[in-house]
Each structure stands twice: as C-alpha cells, then as structure tokens.
C-alpha cells in the first residue's frame, strides 16, 4: 500500500538529480504546503527505505550495528524502483 504522503516525498525526490538532505527535503515539502510532524516524516522515510523506494545514510555503531539515519543532515535519494513507482502512479 502506498500512502499519499509517500507519493509526495517520492515526487519531490524525483525532481532532484542527486541525493538531498532530509532537512532540505522537509523544507521543500513545507514550502509546497505539505507539512508533516517530525515523527510521521521519519516513519514515512523508514517505510520507504524498507520498501526499497529510497536510499539513505547508514550509520554503524561501535558494536557493529547498522542503523538508518534520518536527521536533518542525512542524505536521502530516490532509488530506481522508487522512480518507476512514482512515474507509473503519476501517469494514472
């Protein structure tokens, strides 16, 4: 299931030719009148990453545990699968 908020995130990322920071993505969505709470925004990015639609920074802790980073300075980008998904839905 794809949520409308996910489509807005993917569509915004599609407009970038390279990865962007989470903070810049959030500000761009806010400027377009699409405001989300910080927790909801982070949760949506995690779900999109789990679905393979976006890629993000991975942090490795000292005990060798990998964690996803979604702070304002982390970079995020759309994957090829995400690009295909948003392009096919927008055509409909």
What does the DSSP 8-state code read for residue 37?
-
Q: In sequence order, what E strands does the chain have? A: 20-21, 54-56, 58-60, 66-68, 75-78
- Altogether, the residues listed in the chain come to a count of 92
Give mean pLDDT in consecutive 10-residue pieces for the chain, a chain of 92 residues. Answer: 84 90 92 88 89 80 61 87 85 52
Q: Which pLDDT belongs to residue 92?
A: 47
Q: Are 68 and 56 in contact (CB under 8 A)?
A: yes
Task: Record the pTM.
Answer: 0.81
The CATH code belonging to domain 4-86 is 1.10.10.10
Domain boundaries, the chain: 4-86
């Amino acid at each position: 299931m794809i949520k409308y908020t996910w489509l807005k995130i993917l569509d915004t990322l599609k407009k970038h030719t390279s990865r962007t920071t989470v903070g810049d993505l959030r500000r761009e969505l806010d400027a377009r009148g699409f405001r989300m709470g910080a927790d909801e925004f982070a949760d949506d990015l995690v779900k999109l990453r789990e679905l393979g639609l976006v890629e993000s920074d991975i942090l490795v802790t000292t005990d060798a545990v990998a964690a996803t980073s979604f702070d304002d300075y982390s970079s995020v980008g759309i994957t090829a699968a995400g690009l295909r998904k948003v392009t096919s839905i927008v055509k409909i």
